[in-house]
Chains A and B, each alone.
Chain A
Amino acid sequence: DVKVTQSSRYLVKRTGEKVFLECVQDMDHENMFWYRQDPGLGLRLIYFSYDVKMKEKGDIPEGYSVSREKKERFSLILESASTNQTSMYLCASSLSLDYGYTFGSGTRLTVV
């Protein structure tokens, strides 16, 4: 089974800090995604990547950036954390865009 691992389950950061959320997948998937999950809003796409060093903006990219230096690793960066970025962050990967995504367990980020 594909495994998508997010490095932290819970994070607490201060406003203005630079925050790195790490995600690693172990099945050589080309495609990786970052979503945030908020009650009543479902999952909203922040950024995605089709290949190494390639990235595309999703629906809510403001305040975020990403890095994909290696195929298996996709990092989400909050350049200057704000309280409205308090959320659950989910990483996913997929072999093909025609098929389902495999999600990690999520990182619950609280910005104080």
Chain B
Amino acid sequence: QQQVKQSPQSLIVQKGGISIINCAYENTAFDYFPWYQQFPGKGPALLIAIRPDVSEKKEGRFTISFNKSAKQFSLHIMDSQPGDSATYFCAALSGGYNKLIFGAGTRLAVHP
């Protein structure tokens, strides 16, 4: 019930392409869905987040798409750059549980 399932585990994209990472959840009490970006040797950093009252949120080249009925959300990285190469984690928060539940992570490599 508290799991967040993330796919794919790894992703290779050519420079300029679109990177897409998907997450699914079961618990309908989740009400906040952030994405974190982690570079080697660093802790995860908040990238973008969405609440279930909207279906899409865009910040620069990064977009979250949210499908409440399917209980799925995804991160799209437009015009992917080598500097986007990192591990990406989706997460979900329920106020009732008071903690973030993370997906397993996606290692993205953007090739020049």
Contacts and interface: CB of A to CB of B under 8 A. Distances in A.
Contact of B34 (A33, A97, A100, A105): A100
A93 to B, nearest CB: 11
Interface of A, secondary structure class, is strand
A43 B32 CA distance: 17
A5 B89 CA distance: 21
Given A97-B98, A101-B46, A106-B43, A42 B93 contact: no
Nearest to B104: A42
B112 interface: no
A33 B99 contact: yes
A43 B89 contact: yes
B44 A45 contact: no
Interface residues on A, range: 20 to 34
Interface string B11-43: 000000000000000000000101010000111
Interface in B37-60: 41-46, 49
A105 B43 contact: yes
Contacts, number: 54
A58 interface: yes
13 contacts: A40-B104, A42-B89, A42-B102, A42-B105, A43-B102, A44-B102, A45-B101, A48-B98, A58-B99, A90-B43, A97-B95, A100-B34, A101-B46
A24 interface: no
Interface string A69-105: 0000000000000000000001010000110111111
Given A103-B45, A104-B43, A105-B41, 12 more contacts: A42-B6, A42-B89, A43-B44, A43-B89, A45-B99, A48-B99, A50-B98, A97-B93, A98-B95, A100-B49, A101-B46, A106-B43
